[in-house]
Amino acid sequence: MKNLIQKFLRDESGATMVEYGVMVALIAAIAVATVATLGGYVDGAFSDVNTALNAAGASGGGSGGTGGTGGTGTGG
């Protein structure tokens, strides 16, 4: 019985699993915090793009873009 208790006290495999569990929980918490923090910025960026696209569509755009020479090079 004494040997069984000593073997149980020396066994560290359970402690290793707990350490991995704590690391996974920490990584998950960091991921959630990052998404929560950046979510507002991403939402704002998409809203700005949506507003710009709606404004371009409402103004009767559709020229296909601005600037550029349309490939007038001479080649070689």
**Residue ranges making up the domain that contains 53:** 14-57
- The residue that leads in pLDDT, 57 or 11, is 57
Q: How confident is the model at residue 18 (pLDDT cuts 50, 70, 90)?
A: confident
* Residue 40, domain member (yes or no): yes
If one counts the domains in the chain, the total is 1
Quick: pLDDT tens for 19-75.
Answer: 889 999 999 999 999 999 988 888 889 999 999 999 888 776 555 555 555 555 555
State whether residue 68 is helix, strand or coil: coil
* Residue 31, domain member (yes or no): yes
Vertex 39 angle, CA 41 and 33, to 5°: 120
pTM of the model: 0.46
